[in-house]
A and B are shown apart, each in its own frame.
Chain A
């Protein structure tokens, strides 16, 4: 894996990957939602079951992205790896987006099926905490003049905050909740009819691939932006900016 962890290699490898990955993403999303919209209304939930095909993959993504962000942050903290730093930093806004989507679609679903937009129970609260962890990470990353300090502070938050991910997953088993327990990722296998399970899994694969396309684009952009910065610095030094950067006469010497 570390063969691809070199920025130059990443640029070459991801350039080849981008087009086929986008194509497979579109196919999975089209198949998932195409089948999803043909699924019959649920005997209890009616057509609100369609909300599931957005809500559940978004919820899975919110935890998956946070976990990969925590792993990348660990690598960034321990080995100061530039690509891991960029991967974690560029993941955070995407993670916040999927988490927000999960919370709002859940609210729409709950409004009809539970009769309430929001309850402060374990599942919903821990997911909201996850949303704020993403925002906190972004704020820390941008909150320091010294970029290295920002990266360190944000990485520590990402690692410590990861404890929230298993709390979200098992909250419905550990505490009483309005939220239903797991019906797909559980011991003993899924309890969902395949007319819903197949489109759900296709949508989930589609969301995962879409995230990888978004992340690759953002990481490539970030790497190019760094190169632009480095070039501009070099330019400034060569065109006499050096005197500006290192003044020969200090104010106190006058």
Chain B
């Protein structure tokens, strides 16, 4: 197991590459999901308010 993490002596180059990939790609995906959900929530509350105002 520790041999796997040592990456044949290249751990300091391999793991940061994967860490960054996870951070950047995961971060952009998470941001997109959160932005999408926030927009959905705001739209539905606006639509409910409009319906209530009309009735």
- Chain A contacts to B: CB under 8 angstroms: 41, 46-48, 50-51, 54-55, 58, 93-94, 97, 100-101, 104-105, 108-109, 111-112, 207, 210, 213-214, 217-218, 220-221, 224-225, 227-228, 231-232, 235
Return 18 A-B CB contacts under 8 Å, by A number.
A46-B10, A47-B7, A47-B9, A47-B14, A48-B7, A97-B28, A105-B20, A108-B14, A108-B17, A109-B13, A111-B13, A112-B10, A210-B29, A214-B28, A217-B29, A220-B39, A221-B38, A228-B39
* CB-based nearest A residue for B47: A231
Q: Which residue of B lies closest to A105 (CB)?
A: B17
| Interface residues of chain A: helix, strand, loop or mixed (majority) | helix
With an 8 Å Cβ cutoff, the count of chain B residues facing the other chain is 27
When each residue 38-55 of chain B gets 1 if its CB lies under 8 Å from chain A and 0 otherwise, what string results?
111011001100100000
Residue from A46, A55, A221 with most neighbouring chain B CB atoms (10 Å)? A221
The residues of B with any CB-CB pair to A shorter than 8 Å are: 7-10, 13-14, 16-18, 20-21, 24-25, 28-29, 32-33, 35-36, 38-40, 42-43, 46-47, 50
What's the least CB distance linking A125 to chain B, in Å? 21
